[in-house]
Amino acid sequence: MSNTNTIAVEQAFDVEKIRNDFPILKQSVYGKPLVYLDNAATSQKPKMVIDTLCRYYTKTNANVHRGVHFLSEKASHEYEETREKVRQYINASSHEEIIFTRGTTEGINLVAQTFGRQNVREGDEILISTMEHHSNIVPWQMLCSEGRATLKIIPINDKGEIIVEEYERLLTPRTTLTAFAHVSNSLGTVNSVKHMIEIAHNKNVPVLIDGAQAMPHYRIDVRDLDADFYSFSSHKMFGPTGIGVLYGKKSFLESMPPYQGGGDMIKSVTFEKTLYNDLPYKFEAGTPNIADTIAFGAAIDYLGALDFESIQEYEHELLEYATERLSAIEGINIIGTAEHKASVISFTLEGVHPHDIGTILDREGIAIRTGHHCAQPVMQRFGVPATARISFALYNTREEVDALVNGISRVKEIFA
């Protein structure tokens, strides 16, 4: 991108204004300004999310759905309001298709344990990709071992892209479901999910998308994608931890058995027979995470007010700048060079263990992640035990990339 274009993007997208919304970014760590580059693990929270949590516990706290009193009705109203905000935000057809979960992981487990158990028979296949997070591997492994089905794996190429022809070949009449990430947390690859969903549907195979890493960077329209299930976490999209969403098409959710039993997921209970509640409550047993759900609503408001086109341009430019600067450092090897990437750069540095890179950068106030990123099969595919990973959010800057590059020079000096 030319300099003129860069300036135009930066003017359209006022990163300083955004940074002001995130109080945590103002602090220093070990006497250095905090440079937070671990957004794929979890994002920071804008003040309006933090204030909503505080306001909820100061003014509203009560249990939902059961009370006749003022506070319970208010809490129920705000809780359900978030469901409606999410519905609108992802363009689902109905609030019945929005199931609150603890996060992406729970959403995937829910589908494996309900839809999966109901439909997987001996000899059937579940198809996932090499680049999946453990949370989109292990629930399917558990299901397959229970039902004597087989887990099939779509290979990826050396750039870290799904080989779509192999995907197509691996979808067979035995495939009960295919599940893959929209965006890889370890490589940054953005998969062509709409196209891949179309291919699966042409073979009558339902699709679950792990949207954990896509939601903070893209405006997702589940109807346009035609996803059957789409699972994501609030904490990666500037909302609180402990709350997430499983979107599911009503036709699937209606025919699936409940996930957990308990209060709220029932219409009536006798010792002889229990009648389950309607959607979405059939899948929400017990007292939910009320406060965080309501504060998640504030995160959706925050995201909804942003211009995603300029965010995407800005983040793309930042990714290109960081890739260029890191690639210029001798000894750095970037793992994951897909044509379409979101804000993640995984790398190794010759002669230095990724954990040492992370520890030295930490002393410079720079937070990155090192390890296998809950994607050990990806590490095996690329023949490395671990990588150092930086991941951007909309509040990161070119100056922070420069600080990172200086920090890596420091690492090299120490290990020279």
Residues in contact with ligand PMP by the rule CB under 6 A: 40, 103-105, 133, 135-136, 181, 185, 210, 212-213, 233, 374
Nearer to ligand PMP, 135 or 387 (CB): 135
Closest CA to 372 of 394, 389, 391, 395: 389
Provide, rounded to whole angstroms, the least separation between the CB of residue 255 and ligand PMP.
Answer: 25
How far apart are alpha carbons 319 and 345 in whole angstroms? 8
Provide, rounded to whole angstroms, the least separation between the CB of residue 201 and ligand PMP.
Answer: 22
Nearer to ligand PMP, 15 or 245 (CB): 245
How far apart are alpha carbons 143 and 47 in whole angstroms? 41
Nearer to ligand PMP, 236 or 282 (CB): 236
Asked whether the beta carbons of 13 and 397 are under 8 A apart, the reply is: no
CA 323 to chain centre: 22
Whether 144 is a known active-site residue: answer no
- Counting every residue written for the chain, the total comes to 416
CA distances from 73 to 290, 299, 333 (A): 12, 22, 56
Provide, rounded to whole angstroms, the least separation between the CB of residue 185 and ligand PMP.
Answer: 3
Provide, rounded to whole angstroms, the least separation between the CB of residue 271 and ligand PMP.
Answer: 36
Provide, rounded to whole angstroms, the least separation between the CB of residue 82 and ligand PMP.
Answer: 17
How far apart are alpha carbons 216 and 36 in whole angstroms? 15
Q: What is the identity of the amino acid at 19?
A: R
How far apart are alpha carbons 287 and 66 in whole angstroms? 10
CA dihedral 3, 217, 197, 337 (to 10 degrees): 50
CA 147 to chain centre: 28
Nearer to ligand PMP, 248 or 365 (CB): 248
- Structure tokens, 145: 């071992």
Helix (H, G, I), strand (E, B) or coil at 274: strand
Closest CA to 239 of 411, 86, 341, 369: 86
Residue 321: CB atoms within 10 A of its CB come to: 16
- Structure tokens, 213: 């890493």
How far apart are alpha carbons 118 and 116 in whole angstroms? 5
- Structure tokens, 112: 């494996």
How would you classify the pairing of strands 175-181 and 150-154? unpaired
Provide, rounded to whole angstroms, the least separation between the CB of residue 104 and ligand PMP.
Answer: 4
Closest CA to 126 of 76, 177, 59, 61: 177
Active-site residue (options: 142, 367, 374, 405): 374
Provide, rounded to whole angstroms, the least separation between the CB of residue 118 and ligand PMP.
Answer: 23
Asked whether the beta carbons of 44 and 393 are under 8 A apart, the reply is: yes
Nearer to ligand PMP, 8 or 374 (CB): 374
How far apart are alpha carbons 290 and 260 in whole angstroms? 18
Provide, rounded to whole angstroms, the least separation between the CB of residue 124 and ligand PMP.
Answer: 23
Helix (H, G, I), strand (E, B) or coil at 123: coil
How far apart are alpha carbons 232 and 236 in whole angstroms? 8
List residues with catalytic annotation: 374
